[in-house]
């Protein structure tokens, strides 16, 4: 009575132990361990193709690990489909957003989790409820959707991303996973997303946040997992790493400096040289080059 | 804030009237049906007489029952090339079980339903299991069933036509349900017309107002995204194939009871007609878009054209030409609608 529940409370909501994932001969993830705790934000960082999306897809039931295990509340579980993950309270904003372009905003919002009314053969999709909730949730996000009946395919990239985020925030009961949610967003909407991440954390959700932007990651993150070509470069708590170290690790410091150098010096085109100089200044601002 | 929402509303009003109309999948079919009705009415006064209407509503109704189910499957992103031949299978099972094995007719009809539903489940299972295009899978079932219909019929009754269903006990009650006539304004109409309306209404309700309908559109629109948000893509697909089979059972039973006999090659080649009717009704070949009402109107266009050409005194060869032209027009306008109203906007 005393021991078991206490360890269960202490255990991370989600944990990966030595997880590997292969696609044929491609090693997408190798021997990755990390944990996501309630009331914490875990950031996953790394270059393009580092395996970030593959990692969160093993957390959201899209892929099953080839080696290693996934634990929820300290117990090994098999998330054999995204449905199973959703039922376990894990909601995800996928990088490709997982929206159906030809369907309306509110149908997409509730897709797979439609509210119903009526009994037996008369059980039906409660559309009035779905419409009003979808409209409210999007409005709270600061997204002025012209018309919830509009097909998602006709929305702008940022609006589409907002629909996917609002949906995951609404349905994520225990874990919220966001794969580059701010990539297509303006400054204001990106700020709203960061606010949402903090709010979800404060509500006691475990949040997994993938981003390329250290200015977004550092302020909200409690843990930082850095991936490179499928391997872990380290799993740091916030007090173990500075913003500059993190930025340098994310951007691959020296390589970036080299790149800026080449652009500003070697090009014959003065405009490209100018761009290179600006790029170098920006790198310096980020604290990874002088 | 008030000013902001006011401008937002204006934007809605401006975009929507045009887009909403275009977004109605059945719009083109409705316009086409009206034009065709006026055209043949102009050519022959019999066409719009009560007798004429009863005459072209009859083929429209059986094609319509199938087209509505085929449209649901197409919205879900799949084709069923075995839909036509399953009509034959269903009717043959009813015929052979009652006349040769002397099973009570209602029992035969029930067995027929079970067998044909199993064929649909088989189609659906293979499609979701292998991930192969449904075109190929159902082409295989189409060929196998064609062989089985002929082969088994010959093996069991030594001929290619099952006859004498009318003499079997229970025929009258079964005929009353599936193949009787009703009178309206002094004109006899086939009861299949009522069933057609019922099937269309039911399919529309399912598509627009149930979770299953939402999943159907989603599965056809983007299978991967649907799976990732927890839509049961596989079971939805299998059920859609079974719905087509249920329609084939209904039409097959109707035809066996109406004629009192069934040919072993019944239904061959009709699968394309159903697909054409669904496309004329606004279904996209790529899935995720379409309507049951549209498919029903597509079937109506079929019925009107096939009979209209006869009333106009033309050679029936023109029927095929008309149909081809209509299909082309429908595909082009569907493609336009899709681009115009529902494709991904950059940025
Ligand atoms: N379904 C798949 N089949 C084959 N290879 C795959 C598959 N999914 C991912 N990979 C490979 O695994 C590696 C990691 O991909 P992943 O999408 O996880 O990268 P990422 O870190 O999310 O990159 P990005 O920042 O560009 O989103 C890549 O080399 C990719 O080609
Ligand atoms: Mg990715």
Q: What is the mean pLDDT of chain A?
A: 84
Q: Report the CATH number at residue A30.
A: 3.40.50.300
Instruction: Report whether A174 contacts A88 (CB < 8 A).
Output: yes
Model pLDDT, residue A195: 87
CB contact under 8 A, A98 and B341: no
Q: Is the pLDDT of residue A7 over 50?
A: no
Give residue A32's domain range: 14-251
Nearest one of B116, B120, B114 to B138, comparing CA atoms: B120
Pick among A111, A160, A173 to test the B interface (most B CBs inside 10 A): A111
Q: CA separation (Å) from B60 to A39, B34, B158, B325?
A: 62, 15, 33, 19
Inside any domain, residue A8:
no
Q: Count of residues for chain B?
A: 347
pLDDT in tens, B175-218: 999 988 898 888 899 999 999 999 999 999 999 999 999 999 99
Task: Note whether A273 and A219 are same-domain residues.
Answer: no
Q: Is the pLDDT of residue A174 over 70?
A: yes
Dihedral-angle region of residue A49 (phi above 0 means left; psi in -120 to 50 means alpha; beta otherwise) = left
Which residues of chain B, if any, have pLDDT below 50?
A: 1-13, 344-347
Task: Note whether A142 and A265 are same-domain residues.
Answer: no
Q: Is the pLDDT of residue A229 over 70?
A: yes
What is the CA(A50)–ligand 1 centre distance, in A? 7
At residue A264, φ and ψ (nearest 5 deg) are -80, -25
* DSSP assignment letter at A151: B
Instruction: Report whether B121 contacts B241 (CB < 8 A).
Output: yes
Task: Note whether A144 and A282 are same-domain residues.
Answer: no
Interior CA angle at A16 toward A71 and A195, to 5°? 95
A55 three-class SS: helix
Task: Note whether A22 and A116 are same-domain residues.
Answer: yes
B261 three-class SS: coil
Q: What is the DSSP string of B106-167?
A: HHHHHHHHHHHHHHHHHHHHHHHHH---HHHHHHHHHHHHHHHHHHHHHHHHSSSEE--GGG
What residues does ligand 1 touch, defined as CB less than 6 Å away? A 23, 26, 28, 46, 48-54, 95
Task: Note whether A97 and A235 are same-domain residues.
Answer: yes
* Calpha distance B286→B343 (Å, rounded): 13
Task: Note whether A191 and A240 are same-domain residues.
Answer: yes
On the CB side of A89, CA atoms within 13 Å amount to 12
Instruction: Work out the pLDDT band at A9, boundaries 50, 70, 90.
Output: low
Dihedral (C-alpha) B278, B282, B287, B292: value to the nearest 10 degrees? -60
To which residue do tokens 């080696």 refer? A67
Beta bridge partners of A36: A14
Q: Is the pLDDT of residue A248 over 80?
A: no
Radius of gyration of chain B (CA): 22
Q: Which residues contact A93 (CB under 8 A, 6 or more apart)?
A: A161, A164, A165, A167, A168, A177, A178, A179, A181
Model pLDDT, residue B25: 78
Nearest one of A101, A104, A124 to A114, comparing CA atoms: A124
Q: Count of residues for chain A?
A: 290
Inside any domain, residue A261:
yes
Q: Which pair of structure tokens corresponds to residue A157?
A: 């990239």
Task: Note whether A231 and A263 are same-domain residues.
Answer: no
Q: What does the domain layout of chain B look like in residue ranges?
A: 50-179+186-337
Sign for the CA dihedral angle at B39, B40, B45, B47 comes to: negative
What is the CA(A93)–ligand 1 centre distance, in A? 16
Instruction: Work out the pLDDT band at A72, boundaries 50, 70, 90.
Output: very high
Inside any domain, residue A4:
no
> Looking at beta carbons, which residues of chain A come within 8 Å of B343?
101, 153-154
Nearest one of B144, B122, B107 to B268, comparing CA atoms: B144
* Calpha distance B253→B273 (Å, rounded): 19
Pick among A57, A94, A100, A147 to test the B interface (most B CBs inside 10 A): A100
Residue B28 neighbours by CB distance under 10 Å:
24
Weakest-pLDDT range from A2-6, A118-122, A239-243, B186-190: A2-6
Task: Note whether A246 and A258 are same-domain residues.
Answer: no
How far is CA A84 from its chain centroid? Answer: 19
A286 membership: H or E segment, kind and range: none
* DSSP assignment letter at B347: -
The two beta strands, A41-46 and A67-72, are unpaired
Inside any domain, residue A211:
yes
Task: Note whether A193 and A280 are same-domain residues.
Answer: no
Task: Note whether A103 and A120 are same-domain residues.
Answer: yes
A153: nearest CB among B215, B218, B344: B344
Inside any domain, residue A92:
yes
Beta bridge partners of B190: B181
- A140-146: average pLDDT: 75
At residue A234, φ and ψ (nearest 5 deg) are 135, 155
pLDDT in tens, A196-208: 889 889 989 999 9
Q: Which residues contact B223 (CB under 8 A, 6 or more apart)?
A: B77, B233
pLDDT in tens, B231-251: 999 999 999 999 999 999 999
Inside any domain, residue A28:
yes
Task: Note whether A182 and A129 are same-domain residues.
Answer: yes
| Three-state secondary structure of A96-134 | CCCCCCCCEHHHHHHCCCCCEECCHHHCEECHHHHHHHH
> Looking at beta carbons, which residues of chain B come within 8 Å of A98?
222, 224-225, 228-229
Model pLDDT, residue B18: 58
Instruction: Report whether B92 contacts B257 (CB < 8 A).
Output: no
Interior CA angle at A50 toward A49 and A53, to 5°? 75
Q: Which residues contact B294 (CB under 8 A, 6 or more apart)?
A: B25, B26, B29, B71, B278, B280, B281, B282, B283
* Calpha distance A282→B229 (Å, rounded): 38
Inside any domain, residue A5:
no
Model pLDDT, residue A188: 82
* Calpha distance A48→B262 (Å, rounded): 63
Q: What are the DSSP E strand ranges found in chain B? A: 161-162, 181-184, 187-190, 262-263
* DSSP assignment letter at A96: T
> Looking at beta carbons, which residues of chain A come within 8 Å of B234?
none
Q: Which pair of structure tokens corresponds to residue B195?
A: 């069933």
Mutate to test the pocket of ligand 1, among A16, A51, A180 (most ligand atoms within 8 A of CB): A51
Q: How many domains does chain A have?
A: 2
Inside any domain, residue A7:
no
Model pLDDT, residue A3: 42
């Amino acid at each position: 009575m005393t021991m078991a529940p206490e360890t269960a409370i202490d255990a991370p909501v989600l944990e990966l132990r030595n997880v590997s994932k292969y696609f044929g001969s491609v090693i997408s993830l190798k021997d990755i361990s990390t944990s996501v705790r309630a009331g914490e934000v875990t950031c996953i960082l790394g270059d393009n193709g580092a395996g970030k999306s593959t990692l969160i897809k093993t957390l959201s039931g899209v892929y099953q690990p080839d080696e290693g295990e996934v634990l929820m509340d300290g117990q090994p579980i098999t998330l054999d489909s995204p449905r199973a993950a959703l039922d376990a309270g894990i909601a995800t904003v996928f990088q490709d957003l997982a929206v159906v372009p030809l369907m309306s905003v509110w149908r997409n919002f509730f897709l797979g989790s439609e509210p119903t009314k009526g009994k037996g053969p008369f059980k039906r999709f409660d559309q009035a409820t779905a419409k009003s909730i979808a409209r409210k949730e999007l409005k709270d996000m600061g997204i002025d959707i012209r018309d919830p009946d509009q097909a998602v395919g006709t929305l702008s990239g940022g609006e589409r991303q907002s629909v996917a985020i609002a949906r995951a925030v609404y349905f994520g009961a225990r874990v919220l996973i966001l794969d580059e949610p701010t990539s297509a967003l303006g400054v204001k909407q990106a700020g709203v997303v960061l606010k949402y991440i903090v709010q979800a954390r404060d509500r006691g959700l475990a949040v997994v946040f993938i981003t390329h932007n250290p200015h977004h990651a550092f302020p909200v993150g409690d843990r930082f997992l850095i991936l490179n070509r499928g391997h872990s470069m380290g799993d740091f708590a916030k007090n173990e790493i500075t913003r500059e170290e993190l930025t340098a690790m994310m951007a691959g410091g020296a390589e970036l400096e080299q790149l800026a150098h080449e652009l500003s010096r070697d090009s014959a085109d003065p405009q490209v040289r100018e761009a290179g100089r600006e790029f170098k200044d920006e790198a310096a601002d980020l604290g990874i080059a002088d | 804030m008030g000013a902001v929402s006011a401008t937002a509303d204006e934007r809605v009003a401006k975009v929507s009237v045009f887009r909403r109309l275009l977004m109605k999948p059945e719009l083109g079919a409705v316009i086409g049906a009206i034009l065709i009705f006026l055209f043949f009415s102009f050519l022959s006064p019999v066409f719009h007489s009560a007798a004429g209407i009863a005459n072209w509503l009859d083929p429209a109704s059986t094609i319509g029952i199938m087209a509505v189910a085929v449209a649901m499957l197409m919205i879900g992103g799949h084709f069923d090339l075995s839909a036509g031949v399953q009509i034959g299978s269903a009717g043959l099972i009813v015929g052979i079980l009652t006349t040769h094995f002397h099973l009570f007719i209602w029992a035969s009809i029930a067995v027929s339903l079970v067998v044909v539903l199993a064929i649909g489940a088989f189609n659906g299972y293979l499609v979701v299991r292998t991930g192969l295009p449904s075109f190929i899978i159902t082409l295989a079932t189409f060929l196998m069933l064609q062989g089985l219909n002929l082969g088994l019929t010959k093996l069991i009754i030594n001929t290619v036509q099952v006859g004498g269903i009318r003499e079997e006990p229970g025929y009258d009650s079964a005929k009353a349900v599936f193949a009787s006539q009703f009178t309206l304004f002094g004109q006899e109409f086939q009861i299949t017309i009522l069933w057609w309306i019922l099937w269309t209404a039911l399919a529309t309700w399912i598509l627009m107002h149930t979770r299953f309908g939402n999943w159907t559109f989603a599965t056809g629109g983007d299978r991967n995204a649907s799976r990732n948000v927890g839509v049961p893509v596989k079971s939805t697909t299998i059920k859609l194939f079974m719905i087509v089979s249920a329609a084939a059972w209904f039409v097959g039973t109707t035809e066996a009871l109406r004629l009192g006999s069934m040919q072993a090659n019944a239904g061959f080649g009709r699968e394309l007609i159903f697909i054409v009717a669904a496309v004329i009704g606004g279904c996209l070949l790529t899935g995720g878009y379409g309507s049951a009402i549209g498919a029903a109107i597509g079937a109506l266009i079929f019925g009107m054209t096939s009979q209209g050409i006869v009333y106009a005194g033309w050679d029936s060869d023109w029927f095929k030409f008309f149909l081809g032209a209509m299909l082309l027009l429908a595909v082009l306008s569907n493609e336009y609608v899709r681009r115009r109203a529902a494709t991904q906007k950059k940025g």
